[in-house]
Amino acid sequence: MFVSNSMTRKVLTVEPEADIFTAQELMANHKIRHLPVTEPNGRLIGIVTDRDIRSALPYKFFKQPSVVAEEDSFSKLKIKDIMTRDPITISPAYTIQDALLVIQDARVGALPVVKEDGILTGIISVRDLLRAFINVLGIGEPGTLLCILMEEKVGQLKKIVDAITEENISFGSILVARYWQKDKRAVFPYLLTLNVAHIKEKLKSLGFTLLDPMEWYLDQLPKK
């Protein structure tokens, strides 16, 4: 799935010469945390976040922002003074997996999506990615997640899939992860049924070990 299919297309933006109270009001009214900063032609030049605004303003303005006096020095602050210039961006042709890795590495909450000419075409946030992965994994439908330990050799995954499909059970998704024992893999099928007692017994009879997915840690390191 590509970023272009998962991003938010109708993006609220702000101009660099706007005052920070304009950005604060936009974020509050639309319940967003990121505002791309663009030129009149739509070219992205920066991004401003709610954290940027909080860092620039005293706490009192978040309780009563409307009481700011015209002559107050804070009213002279412009978006260009606090924005992040040349922010990390992503192409609409990237996959959602690419976007997830970039967001994790950059430690940001959203990525502006730009075309080759630098024109803003959308924004993709952590919330957008979560929604996309829920759709891809099929976990929006009622079902049951299993965790099956298998040997890392050809034919094992097919054996599991065949055993489940023979019972006329549909898959929402299936993931395969490394296990912390050598030559082992953990398989996570999300089955679109709540009645899994029979298939569990069938898998055990075929020599597979079933683990509790609630006790699984994807980031557990292999044992030395």
Residue 20 lies in a domain: yes
83 with 152, same domain: the answer is: no
Assign 1 a pLDDT band (cuts: 50, 70, 90): confident
pLDDT at res. 217: 64
Rg (CA), the chain: 24
pLDDT at res. 61: 52
Full domain range(s) for residue 27: 3-135
Q: What is the spatial distance between Cα 35 and Cα 116, in angstroms, rounded to a whole number? A: 20
Q: Which of 135, 157, 188 is the last residue of a domain?
A: 135
Q: Is the pLDDT of residue 219 over 70?
A: no
This prediction's pTM: 0.74
| Residue pair 151/141 in contact by the 8 Å Cβ criterion | no
Assign 180 a pLDDT band (cuts: 50, 70, 90): confident
109 with 9, same domain: the answer is: yes
Q: What is the pLDDT of residues 44-96, one digit of tens each?
A: 999 999 999 988 876 545 445 454 444 356 667 899 999 999 999 999 999 99
Q: What is the pLDDT of residues 148-171, one digit of tens each?
A: 999 999 999 999 999 999 999 999
Give how many domains the chain has, as a whole number.
Answer: 2
Q: Which of 100, 135, 170 is the last residue of a domain?
A: 135
Q: Is the pLDDT of residue 221 over 70?
A: no
First CA to last CA across the chain, in angstroms? Answer: 36
* Percentage of residues in the chain having pLDDT higher than 90: 73
Q: What is the spatial distance between Cα 49 and Cα 107, in angstroms, rounded to a whole number? A: 13
